[in-house]
Amino acid sequence: MKTATIQLKIKNQAKTTHTCKAIKNAFIQSCLNLDASIFEPYIAEDRYFQELDKYRFLQSLKDIFSSHSNGEVKKISLKHGKCQFCYLGMATHDFYDESGYHLFSYIISEENGLLDDISICNMGAASSLENFTKLVSLSNDSTERTADELERSLDEWINNAVKRKRNFNNNTKIVS
């Protein structure tokens, strides 16, 4: 009898771990396609991510995605990194556009193979510095770029940095 109970527990654990992978994959696909509707069916009604209920979390995704779905971003790629700011050292899922510009990052926390939380990672100055360094190196390496192109690139970098700061401020709660 005890063996059957242990096997049942392992079977349930495997099913839950499989579900965790499906949810994680759906979230990543949602980010790669800038489409929150891909992820929506995978969230239970009573599930909280980033201390937000299902619908507020989905709205936060839509807000982030809409700031990048203006037609300029053609392809998004995923790279794994580490948070350099709020969750120092935690593994991140970093999403970049086709030119290598950092768009946004999320931390997908798991515990014992089970999904614990999904939260935005603002990465602070690290991602901004990375993109600014890339912009400067492009301007130094390319003699074909005009001053207007560089100015537009710098304006875009500044606007995106302001958006990231605004998103950070909107998603951060002060605890007193």
> What is residue 109's predicted lDDT score, i.e. its pLDDT?
92
Tens of pLDDT, residue by residue over 80-101, are: 988 887 788 889 999 998 888 8
Who wins on pLDDT, 142 or 169?
169
Q: What's the 3-state SS for 155-172?
A: HHHHHHHHHHHHHHHHHC
Query: How many domains does the chain contain in total?
Result: 1
Q: Assess if residue 141 is contained within a domain.
A: no
| pTM for the model | 0.64
Looking at the predicted structure, is the pLDDT value of residue 57 above 90? yes
Q: Does any domain span residue 153?
A: no
Q: Is residue 9 part of a domain?
A: yes
In a domain? residue 130: no
Please, what is the average pLDDT of the chain?
76
Decide if pLDDT at 49 tops 80: yes
* Dist. CA 12–CA 3, nearest whole Å: 14
Residue 105 lies in a domain: yes
Cα 68 from Cα 34, distance rounded (Å): 8
For residue 143, is it within any domain?
no
Specify if 87 maps to a domain. Answer: yes
Q: Which two tokens stand for residue 159?
A: 């606007």
What CA–CA distance (Å, rounded) separates 85 from 106?
A: 12
Percent above pLDDT 90 for the chain: 34
User: Of 85, 109, 105, which is closest to residue 95 (Cα–Cα)?
Assistant: 105
CB 32 within 8 A of CB 76: yes
Q: The domain spanning residue 117 has which CATH number?
A: 3.10.450
pLDDT tens figures, 102-152: 899 999 999 888 899 999 987 643 455 555 555 556 555 555 555 566 666
The first and second tokens of residue 26, run together, are 């759906």
48 in a structural domain: yes
* Confidence at residue 149, expressed as pLDDT on a 0 to 100 scale: 61
Pairwise CA distance, residues 159 & 127, whole Å: 14
Q: 47: which DSSP letter? A: -
For tokens 């392992």, the residue is 10
Q: Which domain holds residue 6?
A: 2-123
